[in-house]
Amino acid sequence: MISDNVRNVKKRITSACESAGRDNNVRLVAVTKTRSIEEINQIISSGIYDLGENRVKELTEKYELLPDTNIRWHLIGTLQTNKVKYIIDKVYLIHSVDTLRLIDEINRQAGKKGIKANILLQINIAKEEQKHGFAEEEAEEALMYCTKMENIIVKGIMMMAPAGESEESLCNLFEKTEKIYNKLMKFSAEYDNIDIDTLSMGMTDDFEYAVKCGSNTVRIGRALFI
Protein backbone atom coordinates (compact mmCIF):
# COMPACT_ATOMS: atom_id res chain seq x y z
CA MET A 1 0.00 0.00 0.00
CA ILE A 2 1.23 3.46 -0.89
CA SER A 3 0.08 4.80 2.49
CA ASP A 4 2.32 2.24 4.21
CA ASN A 5 5.24 3.31 2.03
CA VAL A 6 4.66 6.97 2.95
CA ARG A 7 4.68 6.11 6.65
CA ASN A 8 7.86 4.07 6.24
CA VAL A 9 9.70 6.84 4.38
CA LYS A 10 8.60 9.40 6.97
CA LYS A 11 9.89 7.13 9.76
CA ARG A 12 13.23 6.80 7.97
CA ILE A 13 13.46 10.58 7.63
CA THR A 14 12.67 11.03 11.33
CA SER A 15 15.26 8.40 12.26
CA ALA A 16 17.91 10.12 10.10
CA CYS A 17 17.13 13.45 11.75
CA GLU A 18 17.39 11.94 15.22
CA SER A 19 20.68 10.28 14.29
CA ALA A 20 22.06 13.65 13.22
CA GLY A 21 20.66 15.43 16.28
CA ARG A 22 18.53 17.79 14.23
CA ASP A 23 14.86 18.76 14.12
CA ASN A 24 12.72 17.09 11.49
CA ASN A 25 11.95 20.03 9.21
CA VAL A 26 12.34 17.92 6.06
CA ARG A 27 9.89 18.37 3.19
CA LEU A 28 9.01 15.17 1.35
CA VAL A 29 8.46 15.71 -2.38
CA ALA A 30 6.77 12.69 -3.98
CA VAL A 31 8.21 12.14 -7.45
CA THR A 32 5.18 11.20 -9.54
CA LYS A 33 6.72 10.73 -12.99
CA THR A 34 5.03 7.86 -14.91
CA ARG A 35 2.58 7.37 -12.01
CA SER A 36 -1.16 7.18 -12.55
CA ILE A 37 -3.69 9.67 -11.23
CA GLU A 38 -5.02 6.91 -8.95
CA GLU A 39 -1.57 6.40 -7.44
CA ILE A 40 -1.04 10.13 -7.01
CA ASN A 41 -4.41 10.47 -5.28
CA GLN A 42 -3.25 7.84 -2.81
CA ILE A 43 -0.16 9.94 -2.13
CA ILE A 44 -2.34 13.01 -1.55
CA SER A 45 -4.64 11.01 0.72
CA SER A 46 -1.56 10.14 2.77
CA GLY A 47 -0.98 13.84 3.40
CA ILE A 48 1.71 14.54 0.78
CA TYR A 49 0.90 17.62 -1.31
CA ASP A 50 4.37 18.36 -2.70
CA LEU A 51 4.54 16.55 -6.05
CA GLY A 52 7.59 16.45 -8.31
CA GLU A 53 7.68 15.92 -12.06
CA ASN A 54 10.65 15.60 -14.41
CA ARG A 55 8.93 16.46 -17.67
CA VAL A 56 6.97 19.56 -18.58
CA LYS A 57 4.37 17.69 -20.66
CA GLU A 58 3.60 15.22 -17.89
CA LEU A 59 3.38 17.98 -15.30
CA THR A 60 0.94 20.08 -17.32
CA GLU A 61 -1.28 17.06 -18.06
CA LYS A 62 -1.45 16.06 -14.41
CA TYR A 63 -1.96 19.67 -13.35
CA GLU A 64 -5.22 19.70 -15.28
CA LEU A 65 -6.35 16.32 -13.92
CA LEU A 66 -5.55 17.11 -10.28
CA PRO A 67 -7.32 20.36 -9.40
CA ASP A 68 -6.65 20.16 -5.64
CA THR A 69 -5.50 23.66 -4.71
CA ASN A 70 -3.36 22.29 -1.87
CA ILE A 71 -0.98 20.63 -4.33
CA ARG A 72 2.43 22.23 -4.73
CA TRP A 73 4.03 21.17 -8.02
CA HIS A 74 7.82 20.93 -8.25
CA LEU A 75 9.67 20.77 -11.57
CA ILE A 76 12.71 18.65 -10.74
CA GLY A 77 13.96 17.58 -14.17
CA THR A 78 15.93 19.42 -16.82
CA LEU A 79 13.98 22.44 -18.07
CA GLN A 80 14.48 23.70 -21.60
CA THR A 81 14.10 27.43 -22.10
CA ASN A 82 11.43 26.99 -24.79
CA LYS A 83 9.20 25.12 -22.31
CA VAL A 84 9.35 27.55 -19.39
CA LYS A 85 6.19 29.31 -20.57
CA TYR A 86 4.13 26.14 -20.14
CA ILE A 87 4.82 25.68 -16.43
CA ILE A 88 5.79 29.12 -15.10
CA ASP A 89 2.39 29.77 -13.49
CA LYS A 90 1.76 26.15 -12.47
CA VAL A 91 4.76 25.26 -10.32
CA TYR A 92 5.49 26.09 -6.73
CA LEU A 93 9.24 25.60 -7.17
CA ILE A 94 11.66 24.96 -10.06
CA HIS A 95 14.54 22.86 -8.70
CA SER A 96 16.65 22.48 -11.81
CA VAL A 97 17.84 25.97 -12.78
CA ASP A 98 21.21 25.22 -14.32
CA THR A 99 22.19 28.09 -16.66
CA LEU A 100 22.12 31.88 -16.78
CA ARG A 101 20.10 31.65 -19.98
CA LEU A 102 17.41 29.68 -18.16
CA ILE A 103 17.39 32.27 -15.36
CA ASP A 104 16.77 34.97 -17.98
CA GLU A 105 13.87 33.07 -19.52
CA ILE A 106 12.21 32.23 -16.21
CA ASN A 107 12.43 35.90 -15.25
CA ARG A 108 10.96 36.95 -18.62
CA GLN A 109 8.06 34.50 -18.54
CA ALA A 110 7.27 35.22 -14.89
CA GLY A 111 7.15 38.90 -15.75
CA LYS A 112 4.62 38.20 -18.49
CA LYS A 113 2.37 36.52 -15.94
CA GLY A 114 2.94 39.15 -13.27
CA ILE A 115 4.27 36.59 -10.79
CA LYS A 116 7.44 35.82 -8.85
CA ALA A 117 8.97 32.45 -9.73
CA ASN A 118 10.57 30.43 -6.94
CA ILE A 119 13.75 28.71 -8.09
CA LEU A 120 16.65 26.60 -6.86
CA LEU A 121 20.10 26.76 -8.40
CA GLN A 122 21.22 23.28 -9.42
CA ILE A 123 24.78 22.55 -8.33
CA ASN A 124 26.82 19.87 -10.08
CA ILE A 125 28.90 19.17 -7.00
CA ALA A 126 30.45 15.96 -8.36
CA LYS A 127 31.35 17.64 -11.67
CA GLU A 128 29.73 14.86 -13.68
CA GLU A 129 29.83 15.53 -17.41
CA GLN A 130 26.41 13.96 -17.96
CA LYS A 131 24.77 16.06 -15.24
CA HIS A 132 23.58 19.65 -15.49
CA GLY A 133 24.20 22.44 -13.04
CA PHE A 134 26.58 25.14 -11.90
CA ALA A 135 30.01 24.15 -10.65
CA GLU A 136 30.75 24.71 -6.98
CA GLU A 137 32.86 27.76 -7.77
CA GLU A 138 30.08 29.26 -9.94
CA ALA A 139 27.35 29.14 -7.30
CA GLU A 140 27.86 32.59 -5.82
CA GLU A 141 28.24 34.20 -9.25
CA ALA A 142 24.96 32.60 -10.38
CA LEU A 143 23.24 33.86 -7.24
CA MET A 144 24.53 37.39 -7.85
CA TYR A 145 23.22 37.18 -11.40
CA CYS A 146 19.77 36.40 -9.99
CA THR A 147 19.80 39.52 -7.82
CA LYS A 148 19.28 41.53 -11.02
CA MET A 149 16.06 39.66 -11.83
CA GLU A 150 12.80 41.33 -10.79
CA ASN A 151 10.56 38.28 -11.21
CA ILE A 152 12.62 35.54 -9.55
CA ILE A 153 13.04 34.52 -5.92
CA VAL A 154 15.99 32.25 -5.18
CA LYS A 155 14.96 29.80 -2.47
CA GLY A 156 18.13 27.71 -2.31
CA ILE A 157 20.02 25.00 -4.14
CA MET A 158 19.53 21.49 -5.46
CA MET A 159 21.95 18.68 -6.23
CA MET A 160 21.83 15.12 -7.54
CA ALA A 161 24.39 12.68 -6.16
CA PRO A 162 26.08 10.14 -8.46
CA ALA A 163 24.64 6.64 -8.42
CA GLY A 164 26.50 3.78 -6.80
CA GLU A 165 28.72 5.84 -4.51
CA SER A 166 29.84 4.69 -1.08
CA GLU A 167 28.35 6.19 2.08
CA GLU A 168 31.60 8.07 2.71
CA SER A 169 31.65 9.53 -0.80
CA LEU A 170 27.97 10.49 -0.68
CA CYS A 171 28.31 12.19 2.69
CA ASN A 172 31.33 14.11 1.45
CA LEU A 173 29.32 15.43 -1.52
CA PHE A 174 26.29 16.26 0.62
CA GLU A 175 28.42 18.06 3.19
CA LYS A 176 30.14 20.11 0.49
CA THR A 177 26.73 21.08 -0.89
CA GLU A 178 25.49 22.09 2.56
CA LYS A 179 28.53 24.37 2.93
CA ILE A 180 27.57 26.13 -0.32
CA TYR A 181 23.99 26.43 0.95
CA ASN A 182 25.14 27.99 4.23
CA LYS A 183 27.45 30.35 2.37
CA LEU A 184 24.68 31.56 0.08
CA MET A 185 22.16 31.90 2.90
CA LYS A 186 23.90 35.02 4.21
CA PHE A 187 22.81 36.92 1.08
CA SER A 188 19.15 36.59 2.10
CA ALA A 189 19.53 39.60 4.37
CA GLU A 190 21.07 41.71 1.60
CA TYR A 191 18.71 41.20 -1.36
CA ASP A 192 14.93 41.26 -1.56
CA ASN A 193 14.74 38.40 -4.04
CA ILE A 194 17.11 36.07 -2.18
CA ASP A 195 15.28 33.99 0.42
CA ILE A 196 17.43 30.92 1.01
CA ASP A 197 15.57 28.22 2.94
CA THR A 198 15.64 25.11 0.74
CA LEU A 199 18.43 22.55 0.40
CA SER A 200 17.08 19.93 -2.00
CA MET A 201 19.20 16.79 -1.99
CA GLY A 202 18.49 13.12 -1.52
CA MET A 203 16.48 10.55 -3.47
CA THR A 204 15.30 6.98 -2.81
CA ASP A 205 18.77 5.42 -2.65
CA ASP A 206 20.53 8.09 -0.62
CA PHE A 207 18.01 10.33 1.17
CA GLU A 208 18.93 9.19 4.67
CA TYR A 209 22.55 10.22 4.15
CA ALA A 210 21.38 13.52 2.66
CA VAL A 211 19.12 14.26 5.65
CA LYS A 212 21.96 13.50 8.08
CA CYS A 213 24.07 16.01 6.15
CA GLY A 214 21.52 18.82 6.33
CA SER A 215 19.02 18.33 3.50
CA ASN A 216 15.60 19.79 4.24
CA THR A 217 13.93 18.67 0.99
CA VAL A 218 14.08 15.13 -0.38
CA ARG A 219 12.73 13.92 -3.72
CA ILE A 220 11.38 10.39 -3.37
CA GLY A 221 9.78 8.28 -6.09
CA ARG A 222 10.45 4.56 -6.08
CA ALA A 223 10.35 4.10 -2.29
CA LEU A 224 6.80 5.48 -2.22
CA PHE A 225 5.39 3.41 -5.04
CA ILE A 226 7.05 -0.02 -4.76
Q: Is the pLDDT of residue 128 over 80?
A: no
Mean pLDDT, rounded, of the chain: 96
| Res 68: pLDDT | 85
The Cα–Cα gap between 182 and 187 comes to 10
Residue 189 has pLDDT above 90, yes or no: yes
Indicate if the pLDDT at residue 224 is higher than 80.
Answer: yes
CA distances from 61 to 78, 86, 165, 204 (A): 17, 11, 35, 25
Would you say 1 and 193 are in contact if contact means Cβ atoms under 8 Å apart?
Answer: no
Contact predicate 123/133, CB 8 Å: yes
Q: What is the mean pLDDT of residues 188-205?
A: 97
97 has a pLDDT exceeding 90: yes
Mean pLDDT of 48-70: 96
Phi and psi at residue 82, in whole multiples of 5°?
-75, -5
Paired residues of 117 in beta bridges: 152
Question: Does residue 130 register a pLDDT over 80?
Answer: no
DSSP state for residue 200 in the 8-state scheme? E
- Assign 127 a pLDDT band (cuts: 50, 70, 90): confident
How much is the pLDDT for 161?
94
More confident residue, 215 or 165: 215
Q: What angle do CA 184, 210, 76 make, to 5 degrees?
A: 70
The CB density around residue 157, as the number of other CB atoms within 10 Å, is 29
Which is more confidently placed, 130 or 171?
171
**pLDDT of 129 above 80:** no
